[in-house]
């Protein structure tokens, strides 16, 4: 079915200055919330190693002990795409140069692709058409992930500290002091904690700038794609997002089919792949309060 094109604004200015409904980029990658492998053609083996050996007294000879295990978790890239068809006539009345609106449309499509990639990292379902598998479905299904007992109610300004303390207490001690420990929360948890800080006279968040919040010595990052009342703690080196960004079969293209088919249309196409995974389940804390 052809794309429905609606032009309900007057465009003035340089290409790319259309006011978009939302401006997003793949924040999960930009902020380093997970490790990222950008050039995976098909399958990525997560670098995960366990060493069960202990030290012994120094002596002559060769007496190896313990076991080094290379864990076999892997991520398979799933490729998805978006195709659009734009009628030139829709935009002629608002633009002297069609190239301007075409460039703006392509910029919008790229931003939507970044937003889509960011969302699927967390909540994508691989069995759903047009989505690659995200972390939350994996955590839901993994019995070895640390899952504290649910509160059974929403996280609010009143109970947010107790709930965050519950998550921090559940983080394995081997992970708690890692420099790349991440604690990510859903938007309602971030709002509850921000409101608590403000109520206590801590107003450094009130200027609207993008900031992380600190809980003790830990930084808290908001991930808007997470369902309400969710908190996840993990080491970034253990959790991965992968993409085939450098795959030569990827496409970000626009073709003026009016030049060959005389149909008055321009077609746009974006194709890319992605996937997620983690190494050690027992080192990830996944908490849903309600």
Residue ranges in the chain modelled with pLDDT below 50: 6-24, 205-208
**How confident is the model at residue 114, as a pLDDT?**
84
User: Does residue 58 sit within a domain?
Assistant: no
User: Does residue 241 sit within a domain?
Assistant: yes
User: Does residue 267 sit within a domain?
Assistant: yes
**How confident is the model at residue 69, as a pLDDT?**
66
Q: What is the pTM of this model?
A: 0.81
User: Does residue 10 sit within a domain?
Assistant: no
**How confident is the model at residue 251, as a pLDDT?**
66
Q: Which domain holds residue 154?
A: 27-49+67-288
For residue range 89-113, list pLDDT tens digits in order.
776 655 555 566 667 677 777 788 8
**How confident is the model at residue 259, as a pLDDT?**
80
User: Does residue 149 sit within a domain?
Assistant: yes
**How confident is the model at residue 4, as a pLDDT?**
52
User: Does residue 20 sit within a domain?
Assistant: no
User: Does residue 32 sit within a domain?
Assistant: yes
Nearest partner of 284 among 179, 167, 193, 204, judged by Cα: 167
User: Does residue 59 sit within a domain?
Assistant: no
For residue range 254-268, list pLDDT tens digits in order.
778 888 889 888 888
Give the whole-angstrom CA distance, residue 128 versus residue 1: 20
Counted domains in the chain: 1
CATH number of the domain within which 175 lies = 3.90.1690
């Amino acid at each position: 079915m052809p794309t429905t094109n609606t032009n309900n604004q007057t465009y003035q200015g340089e290409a790319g200055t259309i006011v978009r409904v939302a401006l997003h980029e793949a924040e999960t990658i930009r902020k380093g919330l997970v490790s990222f492998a950008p050039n995976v053609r098909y399958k990525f083996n997560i670098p995960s190693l366990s060493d069960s050996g202990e030290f012994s007294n120094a002596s002559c000879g060769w007496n190896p002990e313990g076991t080094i295990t290379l864990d076999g978790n892997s991520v398979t890239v799933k490729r998805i795409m978006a195709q659009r068809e734009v009628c030139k006539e829709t935009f002629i009345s608002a633009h002297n140069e069609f190239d301007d609106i075409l460039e703006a449309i392509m910029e919008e499509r790229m931003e939507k692709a970044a937003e889509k990639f960011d969302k699927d990292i967390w909540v994508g379902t691989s069995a759903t058409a047009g989505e690659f598998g995200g972390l939350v479905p994996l955590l839901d299904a993994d019995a070895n992930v640390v899952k504290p007992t649910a509160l059974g109610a929403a996280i609010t300004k009143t109970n947010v500290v107790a709930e965050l303390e519950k998550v921090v207490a559940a983080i394995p001690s081997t992970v708690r002091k890692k420099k790349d420990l991440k604690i990510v929360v859903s938007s309602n948890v971030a709002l509850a904690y921000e409101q608590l800080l403000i109520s206590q006279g801590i107003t450094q968040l009130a200027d609207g700038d993008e900031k992380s919040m600190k809980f003790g010595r830990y930084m808290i990052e908001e991930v808007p794609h997470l369902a309400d009342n969710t908190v996840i703690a993990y080491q970034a080196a253990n959790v991965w997002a992968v993409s085939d960004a450098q795959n030569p079969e990827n496409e970000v293209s626009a073709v003026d089919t009016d030049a060959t088919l005389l149909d008055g249309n321009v077609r746009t196409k974006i194709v890319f792949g992605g996937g997620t995974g983690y190494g050690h389940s027992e080192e990830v804390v996944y908490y849903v309060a309600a």
